[in-house]
Amino acid sequence: MRIVRVDNYKEMSKTASDIIKEQVILKKDAIIGFATGSSPLAVYECLAEDYKNKMVSFKKVRGFQLDEYYGLERLHSQSFYYYMKKNFMDKTDFDEANFEAFDALAADINKECSRYETLLAKSDGIDIQILGIGNTGHIGFNEPAETFPDEAHFVKLEKETIDANAKFFANTEEIPKYAFTLGIGSIMKAKKLIVLVNGRGKSDIIKKTLCGPITPKIPATVLRLHPDCTLIADKEALELVEDRLEEK
């Protein structure tokens, strides 16, 4: 794993967006795996800015959504689909028809997981997967478990994850308790991973991710086994592992 230590969120976002932009310039029909949440938000802002300045076009790019809350309408203000539409698709020339997403209202959840997994398997594979890390160590919505789930699946969210999402919903009943996510196997098959982490609040989970044993109980630890994984983190997120970084 390559660790890029940056000063702040802005630098983290610019560093990540430059890598993504270069990939799309080199391969116009690149496949990108899109994460949502606060960590990649400014990455999408930077990419939209680069598009505006005619430095890159996303017209031929295909996108795969990393995860989605179960039960929310596609254009619900908190759906991950809407997040991507509002923050990226509507601000660039990305063609919405090229965005693959879970059907959050699917009646048959197993069928929906297989549909999504098959779609991904039939593609040329994700060129760049953007990721954040949750406080439980989740990547996508792969919460701590006894094994690393391989394929797209349906998950019950951890209480800690539900609590972290509470601020975005008007009342507790509205907060989704379940979600669809790509599996760890699918994430690990992406050719390149860009992992974004910022803020002191993530320093504990970063220490466990980088220094503890590789275990499905902290799903993000598996990232250390990927052949091309770049973790871009600010100094606050890295503050508990500073000594180890300096040793290298």
Interface residue list for ligand F6R (CB under 6 A): 35-39, 66-67, 80, 132-134, 138-141
**Three-state secondary structure call for residue 180:** strand
CB of 66 to ligand F6R, least distance (A): 5
Shortest Cβ 248–ligand F6R spacing (Å): 26
Q: Pairing state of beta strands 67-69 and 192-197?
A: unpaired
Cα distance between residue 152 and residue 74, in whole Å: 19
Query: Which segments of the chain are extended strands (E)?
Result: 2-6, 31-34, 62-65, 67-69, 99-100, 128-132, 153-156, 178-181, 192-197, 229-234
> Residue 64 CB, nearest distance to ligand F6R (Å)?
12
Residue type for 92, please? T
Closest to 220 (Cα-Cα) out of 192, 193, 180, 247: 193
> In whole angstroms, how close is the CB of 53 to ligand F6R at the nearest point?
26
Q: Which is closer to ligand F6R, CB of 58 or CB of 180?
A: 180
Q: Which is nearer to ligand F6R, 79 or 92 (CB)?
A: 79
Nearer to ligand F6R, 78 or 114 (CB): 78
Task: For residues 55 and 52, give the distance between their C-alpha atoms in angstroms, rounded to a whole number.
Answer: 8
Q: Which residue is nearest to ligand F6R (CB)?
A: 132
- The smaller minimum CB distance to ligand F6R, of residues 62 and 202, is found at 202
Closest approach of ligand F6R to the CB of residue 69, in Å: 10
In the complex with ligand F6R, the residue whose CB is nearer, 39 or 79, is: 39
- Do the beta carbons of residue 85 and residue 49 sit within 8 Å? no
Residue 218 β-bridge partners: 215
